[in-house]
Structure 1
Amino acid sequence: MIVWAFIIAAVLLSLERLTYYYISHYPERWSTVCERSALRVLGRPVQVLHRLFYLFKVVQMAVFLGWCALFSGDLLPLPTADAVSGTVGGLLLLAGLVLNLTVFRQLGTTGVFYGAQLGHQVRWIEGFPFSLLRHPQYVGTLLSIWGFFLIMRFPHDDWIVLPLLETVYYAIGARHEV
């Protein structure tokens, strides 16, 4: 069962990363797709990606909660962490949220959603959190993912599977980001 669950999760979670790779490497094609397809009702290319971001997060949370439900055997899974793991997980979640909120605040929607690649003027930020990390949004997201699974599935054997998968996906994304 874990193999099929993993394959389904891997495919669904890869959609966001593949979309970002495509936009990062082929911004002109993305702009054309947004202007000449049904996506045009969602707005300009940055707006379309911003809206897709929410869809990707719904898919990500559905996969995470589905994983927790499947491996806990409960439709509404409860946290399984002890006090220490739960506290560490909560701190990781909080740190990840702070990093992501700071990135969004510093760059704005246009900067976060590949505005520079899509022809917008986006100012270069050298302050926090970019002064500490090359990809603070990726790190923030990964901290949140690890924190979530520490809280929800630790100490079960499956707790580490999706955080490791997402770490690989985000590392590849950071490596290939333009």
Structure 2
Amino acid sequence: MGAIDSSVIAAITAPHLLYAFVWFLPALWRQVFSKPVRAFQTSATVLKVLQVVILLRWYSVKSQHEGLKGLNLMKVPMGQWGAFFLCVFLGQVLNIAVYRVLGEKGVYYGSRLGKKVAWHKEFPFNLVSHPQYVGAVLTITGFSALVYGQAPQGAMTLAGYWASLYAVTALQEQFL
């Protein structure tokens, strides 16, 4: 078994391929779905659930294969706990704020899918560009900090790859 199973790479990549498809081909998405925003939300949610299930399965199987006993939370140093709580908290504050400001239509590319979505400049958009993606990267970083030192081989590389996908998605939305 390699360091990172191809199913994990596929599961982490799939939502970003969906985002790109809807971003670059919104007319086609609208032709296929009568409620394109709802279809996008449902598709993205299903892919995210599969992503978590496949990632947790990989983590468990890979840990056992490497003779790791699983994550022992009692052995996690306080600094790692601090990084975990800080990053996950800040990441989720950004994600929740994006949903509160934009709503379903805004989060799920409503402006690309024929819906009127107002442009917002207040928090969290006045803090960082693409706060939802920054929030996701912070959450990934927080969980990576928590498992660091007890994670199977490839876990940190996988986290870096996952974060880079959010950067690519942000860039495509920003410039393309």
Structure 2: stretches of 5+ with no match in the other structure: none
Partner of 1:25: 24
Partner of 1:169: 165
Q: TM-score, normalised by structure 1?
A: 0.85
Over the matched positions of the two proteins, sequence identity in percent amounts to: 30
* Residue correspondences, number: 168
Which of these residues, 116, 119, 127, is aligned with residue 121 of structure 1?
Answer: 116
Partner of 1:39: none
RMSD of the TM alignment (CA)? 2.0
Partner of 1:47: 38
Question: Residues 83, 4 of structure 1: CA spacing in aligned structure 2 closer, same or farther, 3 A cutoff?
Answer: closer
Question: Residues 48, 176 of structure 1: CA spacing in aligned structure 2 closer, same or farther, 3 A cutoff?
Answer: same
Question: Residues 23, 155 of structure 1: CA spacing in aligned structure 2 closer, same or farther, 3 A cutoff?
Answer: same
The whole-number CA distance in structure 1 between the counterparts of 2:32 and 2:42 is 15
SS across alignment from 2:33 = helix
Partner of 1:72: 63
The whole-number CA distance in structure 2 between the counterparts of 1:84 and 1:127 is 32
Moved over 6 A (4+): none
Shift of 1:68: 2.4
Structure 1: stretches of 5+ with no match in the other structure: 36-43
The yes-or-no answer on 1:82 pairing with 2:81 is: no
Partner of 1:105: 100
| 1:59-105 Cα distance to aligned partner (Å, 9 max, x none) | 22113312321332279755463221122112111111110000000
